[in-house]
Structure 1
Amino acid sequence: MEKTDPGRKMKVLLHSHFPAGHCYPMQAAAQALVSRGHQVVWLTSGDNEARVRLTGADFVPTFALAAVDAPLMRRHETGLLDGDWGRHRGRLLAQVDEYRSVLDGFQADVLLVDVLPHGARALFELGEIPVYATLGVIPMYSSAWNAPHAVSGRQPPTTWFGMLVNWLRHAYIRWIVLPWSLRPVLNGQRSVLGLGGLPYGQPLEAFTYSRFLHIQASSPTLEFGMRPAYLENVSYVGPLVAQLKSPSTQNLPDWWERAVAHPRVIGITQGTLAMDPTSLIIPSIEALSPDPGNLLVVVSPHSAGLERRFGQGRHGNILYADWLPYHLLLPLLRLLITNGGYGSITQALSHKVPLLCAGQTEDKKDTAARVSWAGAGIDLKTDNPSAEQVRTAADRILDDSGSYLENATRLGVELNALGGGETVCDALEDLVRRTRLTEKPLQDIGRW
């Protein structure tokens, strides 16, 4: 590879999965890169166009990938952790097609993808991009012997027997599940591109992260104090939140000043995909509104229907909004009740807010397990808690009998010290600098 000036500006191609929860962290990366003068093109779902343009990045909508994603979008799923490897048929080729359409007029120095980096890896092996990195916006998974398995909702084992069972499960995934389920799906698409098959027995990390740089939007403590077993270059950056123009106070609800002044505000939300209020929001209102000392802020696209059902509550202590900016809401809260989206969790902790988690779909149970392990909240281990379960857990956190506030504060300090979007920039700039100064092209496939 020809040596070039390591100080020159970069051209960066970003690709984020279609859900809004994947777009928000990438916003912070895009905004930081643009603010440093780098040229950024962002490939994502057409639904995210406004979010992309707010950062100053150039927006490119997906087409081939949009067709692959359409069934998932209709079912309000992400398709990441359900074990249905057949859903990856066509995705690698669609990714390569989309990347090539951008790269035809944009010679990127690095490609940053948030999940499913199979197309990026293929394009790298074809020599069409210098290097690629991955951005972790969901829990980080590892094949280390003591690392909990994806979608298990478990914490690291603490007994020798538990460690042995955990190791056997990892071996089963590495030598049976991945080689005979996911690997053939990817190899069929790689052969169309003229690439050889992936080696047998590669670890989970080879299918999930870039060997050159993985950027994780959290902290070591929130990831059980461990990192993927087969990765050397992992950069923890804390929560990724774009510093976009704040809405004026005129755009905030009429009740906003009341919430600012209240001593015990409890936020209730269900994220960006699983938003049926019957599973968590309604039990939480039923559990906590009878206490006149609580002020509930319910954030949901179903807020109008909820207000018709509950009104302002018997004590006038329920407030509703379709949406609120987290950076303004979270500093007001004593507790956040949520189904456990990774971005929401890391943002809440960055504001030192303890958490009550009730989510079991996809990665949410794993996020809740991390919160519980860190002592920063309680995992109810269900999608549909009863009002009594919510009341008991919320009272325990608010009474701070388990030092939840202290642990959330400690995590907040750790998360906020990691730099966010600026650290993403630093890591990518360092990767590109090292790539430009490398005498020989980097190698990927045989190094796992």
Structure 2
Amino acid sequence: MKILLHSHFPAGHALPMHAVAQALVRKGHTVHWLTSPTHAKRAAQAPVNVRPEFHATKDTYSIDQPLEKKGETGLLDGDYSRLQGRVLAQVEDYRRVLREIGDIDVLVVDVMPYGAQAMYELGEIPRWVSLGVIPMYTSGADAPLATSGQAPPTSYLGRCVNAFHQWTQQNLTLPYSLAPVVNKQRRQLGLADLPRGQPLESYWYSPFLHIQASSSALEFDQTPATKTGVAFVGPLFAQDSTDNPDHVPHAWDVIVAHPRVIGITQGTFTMNPTSLIIPAIKALSEDKQNLLVVVSPYERDIREQIDVPSNVLIKEWLPYDFLLPQIRLFVTNGGYGSITQALYHKVPLLCAGQTEDKKDTAARVAWAGAGIDLKTDSPSVEQVKQAAEEILGDERYLARAAELGEELKALGGADEAARLLEEFAKQE
């Protein structure tokens, strides 16, 4: 097959797509990966036997670059004006790559798939697939709204209120806020307006196949209201770090030998260490049974603000496939990829993140019984301490994380995503 993959610029989107690309190349397919030019080095450093052909976005990057500089993703902030020009930019980037590589068997995109839908309607690509690397949002009466940070309602009244919010979103918010911005660009391409009153899923996911990098248990056991086929494949990551001795981090023997390691991170975007990392260090370093491994590029800032105890190691970067199997608890601001990978390795979670989709990811962890959601970006030292003590002292969190880990591993990850794409391409 010849496959074109397009991922949004943040690392949390590019890394899962890159894992799928490697799995497809390993199977012998020709894979072209279109994403931000900031990921060119990452693509070039992949082993030759799994390296996709890299293509940098140009028109789309002109829209993404200001977001990247501000540390924003342009997703789930309710500012649909950010979509101005994006559909046309996506189409132009797709057309440019297709002129270089010729016809493809399938296009895979992760978020904001308006250009993919337009290209399909124009007859310039075959059917396309969406890849979910953030929480899956659906429009059922029990489905919480995006960025609500809520779990499904448990009472009749709650269900009625939630159903009203869903109706409002489907019939007022999306048709009068999102659709006009997209439709203006569709008209420039000679396409009709989007149908009025269509559910959220029709804006976000392929009508043919949606692959979600998680499990049903982490998505409230819900499915889209549309006819979209959904396949859960678990987290998507390339498992090659532990096979490469050059990747072994300094002081790794100390981490492996320690009986209770706690990982702490704030992901790739919300990086100010004062919000979570420093409170977590203060809360958890007092117990000398703990070895804290902090993953952050701001070691200097951390050391300027606090005296770092001897049982705290700070690393600018660590491969998750090294770190996660060694830890007993993961303290994080709740990025979807890091959460699903932690659970894949059977690690319970302490979540403290409220920006964009992070509150929704944390709500899923708490609903599934695999951790605690502090419902704040900036927890106090006492909040972190109490929550960590509860998780470490209650084997039910570890047991539930282990159950979810077994389920996630069984789903197949990037290899299963590649298999699904092979099967999809064979269908008429």
TM-score by length of 1: 0.92
Please state if 1:282 is matched with 2:278: yes
Aligned residue identity for 2:397: Y
Work out which of the residue numbers 56, 62, 68 in structure 2 matches 1:67: 62
Please state if 1:306 is matched with 2:306: no
Please state if 1:25 is matched with 2:21: no
**How many residues end up aligned between the 2 structures?**
423
Please state if 1:428 is matched with 2:421: yes
Alignment correspondent of 1:415:
408
Aligned residue identity for 2:26: S
Work out which of the residue numbers 175, 180, 205 in structure 2 matches 1:209: 205
Distance verdict in 2 for CA 1:143–1:252, change over 3 Å: same
Alignment correspondent of 2:268:
272
Aligned residue identity for 1:322: E
Query: How far has the Cα of 1:282 moved from its partner?
Result: 0.3
Please state if 1:227 is matched with 2:227: no
Alignment correspondent of 1:58:
53
Please state if 1:76 is matched with 2:71: yes
Post-superposition Cα deviations, 1:341-382, rounded to whole Å, max 9, x if no partner, equal 000000000000000000000000000000000000000000
Distance (Å, rounded) in 2 between the aligned partners of 1:257 and 1:293:
17
The answer to whether the Cα contact below 8 Å between 1:153 and 1:368 also exists between their aligned partners in 2 is yes
> What do you get for the CA RMSD once the two structures are aligned?
1.3
Distance (Å, rounded) in 2 between the aligned partners of 1:333 and 1:262:
9
Gap regions ≥5 residues in structure 1: 1-9, 436-448
- Aligned with 1:266: secondary structure? strand
Query: How far has the Cα of 1:74 moved from its partner?
Result: 1.6
> Which structure shows the bigger proportion of residues in helix conformation?
2
The answer to whether the Cα contact below 8 Å between 1:311 and 1:318 also exists between their aligned partners in 2 is no
The answer to whether the Cα contact below 8 Å between 2:264 and 2:277 also exists between their aligned partners in 1 is yes
Post-superposition Cα deviations, 1:210-237, rounded to whole Å, max 9, x if no partner, equal 0101000000000011122214411100
Work out which of the residue numbers 204, 224, 240 in structure 2 matches 1:244: 240
Distance (Å, rounded) in 2 between the aligned partners of 1:304 and 1:353:
28
The answer to whether the Cα contact below 8 Å between 2:32 and 2:53 also exists between their aligned partners in 1 is yes
Aligned residue identity for 1:184: P
Work out which of the residue numbers 363, 377, 381 in structure 2 matches 1:369: 363
- Aligned with 2:287: secondary structure? coil
Alignment correspondent of 1:43:
34
Distance verdict in 2 for CA 1:424–1:250, change over 3 Å: closer
Aligned residue identity for 1:163: R
Post-superposition Cα deviations, 1:55-77, rounded to whole Å, max 9, x if no partner, equal 41001111111111122112101
Distance (Å, rounded) in 2 between the aligned partners of 1:309 and 1:85:
38
Distance (Å, rounded) in 1 between the aligned partners of 2:304 and 2:384:
22
Distance (Å, rounded) in 2 between the aligned partners of 1:124 and 1:356:
42
Please state if 1:16 is matched with 2:7: yes
Aligned residue identity for 2:15: Y
Please state if 1:350 is matched with 2:341: no
Please state if 1:181 is matched with 2:177: yes
Distance (Å, rounded) in 1 between the aligned partners of 2:236 and 2:247:
24
Q: Which ranges of 4 or more aligned residues in structure 1 deviate by more than 6 Å? A: none
The answer to whether the Cα contact below 8 Å between 1:296 and 1:319 also exists between their aligned partners in 2 is yes
Query: How far has the Cα of 1:199 moved from its partner?
Result: 1.1
- Aligned with 1:14: secondary structure? strand
Query: How far has the Cα of 1:400 moved from its partner?
Result: 1.4
Query: How far has the Cα of 1:311 moved from its partner?
Result: 4.8
Query: How far has the Cα of 1:251 moved from its partner?
Result: 4.9
The answer to whether the Cα contact below 8 Å between 1:264 and 1:295 also exists between their aligned partners in 2 is yes
Distance (Å, rounded) in 2 between the aligned partners of 1:346 and 1:231:
26
Please state if 1:380 is matched with 2:374: yes
Query: How far has the Cα of 1:309 moved from its partner?
Result: 4.5
The answer to whether the Cα contact below 8 Å between 2:87 and 2:185 also exists between their aligned partners in 1 is yes
Distance (Å, rounded) in 2 between the aligned partners of 1:250 and 1:149:
44
Distance (Å, rounded) in 1 between the aligned partners of 2:407 and 2:365:
14
Aligned residue identity for 2:271: M
Alignment correspondent of 2:320:
326
The answer to whether the Cα contact below 8 Å between 1:356 and 1:377 also exists between their aligned partners in 2 is yes
Query: How far has the Cα of 1:105 moved from its partner?
Result: 2.9
Gap regions ≥5 residues in structure 2: none
Aligned residue identity for 1:146: D
- Aligned with 2:427: secondary structure? helix
Distance verdict in 2 for CA 1:38–1:248, change over 3 Å: closer
The answer to whether the Cα contact below 8 Å between 1:190 and 1:196 also exists between their aligned partners in 2 is yes
Distance (Å, rounded) in 2 between the aligned partners of 1:243 and 1:284:
28
Aligned residue identity for 1:323: W
Alignment correspondent of 1:163:
159
Please state if 1:85 is matched with 2:80: yes
TM-score by length of 2: 0.97
Please state if 1:34 is matched with 2:34: no
Distance (Å, rounded) in 2 between the aligned partners of 1:332 and 1:362:
29
The answer to whether the Cα contact below 8 Å between 1:62 and 1:98 also exists between their aligned partners in 2 is yes
Query: How far has the Cα of 1:172 moved from its partner?
Result: 0.3
The answer to whether the Cα contact below 8 Å between 1:27 and 1:51 also exists between their aligned partners in 2 is no
Query: How far has the Cα of 1:306 moved from its partner?
Result: 2.1
Distance (Å, rounded) in 2 between the aligned partners of 1:305 and 1:181:
41
Distance (Å, rounded) in 2 between the aligned partners of 1:42 and 1:357:
32
Alignment correspondent of 1:126:
122
Alignment correspondent of 1:335:
329
Distance verdict in 2 for CA 1:372–1:171, change over 3 Å: same
The answer to whether the Cα contact below 8 Å between 1:307 and 1:320 also exists between their aligned partners in 2 is no
Q: What percent identity do the matched residue pairs reach?
A: 57
